[in-house]
Chains A and B, each alone.
Chain A
């Protein structure tokens, strides 16, 4: 059966299925070739994890919270100001120093996201993650482009061949097919260029799984910069995950908004589970003496 012989409505149905198959194959192909071996990166660097999850904006959010937590930045309403006696050199990281410089005389929080200097301060994370093939580098982007060209050729070829056949037969009711063809090209383009590679997407999911225990303890994480646990929680799940009383300012400064990557729900990779596996584990259990339950082998191990 030649699909081009199909009458209009049936051909539209055929084209929808065909376009779905092509776009599905495009997604599968990309995922397959971009699933490289898990790279070794510094999973203890909150800013690297934040960049992987949401780019510069996430790094700036996490860095801001970190600086406030350490008393180097002061938040008043939606403005930030560098604390007295807190020169940029009092922070170690480039992005922290850049934030302290920017807010030396105070300013609106939201202005950080348009600051080119701050974006530049995050560049090292971009380089590291592209090198690890977790973000799309030039080669990956080129390969994606080639796949998109092939998919576009198929989608437009089939669509416009039918249009030509219809026009030659004197039928002009091809509007739906033209719209459908263009729409499928847009969808193909949209699914071809995600920020993260497939490895990057799985890496952030894995990080969320490994640090699932932090989210379980979010209410109890203490402010004051004694540990980097709150920062890693914010890096892996978004500043919205900081539920503790000491971090109420974080949600005030960076309120959750639909369509932003402030919350983990909006992150590229979505939220990880609370991690019952990687976050659990005991060869003995803490209840020895009182008896261990479940599949735990109990004390003595």
Chain B
């Protein structure tokens, strides 16, 4: 397979997958750990994470900072992320372009904010603060949404592209989120990809989902409980055909766990998709 030397493929670290992951480190290049689980962890639990990091490179993924908001990210949470990064020395860290609280209420959901100049400004300010406190700029992930954020004055691609363009953060492009939004709101996901500077795509998330809702108003839900569908691999190939540098590709699976070999096979599918994309890129360059 033709891939850039350091394209990396990994899985999200989950309790149920622990033994499977550690048994297949010859085929898993890195793991993604949910950072927030360790913000209040005991010393012993954090040390176990360091031990994991000694076995396999890890990347930290945040879910509760709430970057895409006009409200400033809480300093305490950024400090916790900074401490964790200092302890674990991940290869990168990331957060979502979402808000997770408002008016003091934790909404327990990665919600897409209105796509306006105000939320762009808020997100850029939060990302700069995160960069300053943690010392490394986070990669930021596009989120899935079941409704178009009310009050938006631009589409998702324009909103994401502007945040990326005006911040130091690269994009963690979640291709299943993109796939789901594209189906739910009827836009072309390849057009989305073409509107993001390829140099600014740092990592890729892959996942699966399911259809919900009435037959006449169905929505694809990104639930991380199902296999990565074929169109998402096609999008991965598309990204790999454009991005000039090495990619990090993570498959997220949060439940309904299949045997680990099944997930490893999906990683191999991802490898093949990247390989196809790289071949196309090389052919165009030639």
Contacts and interface: CB of A to CB of B under 8 A. Distances in A.
Asked if A pairs with B, the answer is yes
Interface of A: 37-41, 43-44, 202-203, 205-207, 209-214, 216-217, 227-229, 232, 272-273, 275-286, 288-289, 291-301
B42 interface: yes
B143 A281 contact: no
Interface in B164-220: 174, 177, 207, 212
30 contacts: A44-B25, A206-B52, A209-B44, A209-B47, A209-B48, A210-B22, A210-B51, A214-B18, A227-B259, A228-B23, A272-B44, A275-B15, A277-B41, A277-B48, A279-B18, A281-B14, A283-B254, A284-B207, A284-B254, A285-B254, A286-B255, A289-B223, A291-B109, A295-B36, A295-B64, A296-B108, A297-B96, A300-B96, A301-B141, A301-B222
The 9 closest A-B pairs by CB, nearest first: A298-B109, A286-B255, A213-B15, A297-B63, A279-B15, A209-B48, A44-B23, A277-B45, A206-B51
B9 interface: no
B42 A273 contact: yes
Interface residues of B, number: 59
Contacts of B34: 280-283
A137 B284 CA distance: 58
A283 B48 contact: no
A100 B64 CA distance: 53
Interface of B is mostly: mixed
Given A283-B252, A286-B225, A299-B144, A40 B54 contact: yes
A295 B110 CA distance: 11
Given A205-B48, A289-B223, A300 B100 contact: no
Interface in B21-49: 22-23, 25, 33-34, 36-38, 41-42, 44-49
Given A277-B49, A281-B37, A283-B34, A297 B110 contact: yes
B16 interface: yes
B19 A288 contact: no
A43 B212 CA distance: 40
Given A276-B45, A281-B14, A38 B51 contact: yes
Nearest to A213: B15
Nearest to A214: B19
B158 to A, nearest CB: 19
Contacts of B48: 205-206, 209-210, 275, 277-278
Nearest to B209: A288
Nearest to B41: A277
A291 B52 CA distance: 30
Contacts of A291: 108-109
A161 B256 CA distance: 71
Contacts of A213: 15-16, 18
Interface in B129-163: 141, 143-145
Contact of B96 (A40, A276, A301): A301
Given A299-B109, A299-B110, 19 more contacts: A38-B51, A205-B47, A206-B50, A206-B52, A207-B51, A209-B45, A209-B47, A209-B48, A227-B259, A277-B42, A277-B49, A278-B45, A280-B37, A289-B212, A297-B64, A297-B108, A297-B109, A300-B98, A300-B145
Interface in B227-286: 252, 254-256, 259
A283 B61 contact: yes
B221 A292 contact: no
A300 B144 contact: yes
B55 interface: yes
A210 B36 CA distance: 16
B223 A301 contact: no
Contacts of B19: 44, 211, 214, 227-229, 232
B47 A286 contact: no
Contacts of B38: 277
A212 B49 CA distance: 13
B10 interface: no
A301 B255 contact: no
B23 A284 contact: no
B78 to A, nearest CB: 15
A41 B25 CA distance: 11
Contacts of B13: 278, 281
Contact of A301 (B45, B47, B63): B63
Contacts of B255: 282, 285-286
Given A286-B255, A299-B221, A300-B111, A203 B18 contact: no
A209 B37 CA distance: 14
A283 B12 contact: yes
B217 to A, nearest CB: 15
A289 to B, nearest CB: 6
Nearest to B49: A278
B107 interface: yes
B15 A288 contact: no
A217 B212 CA distance: 30
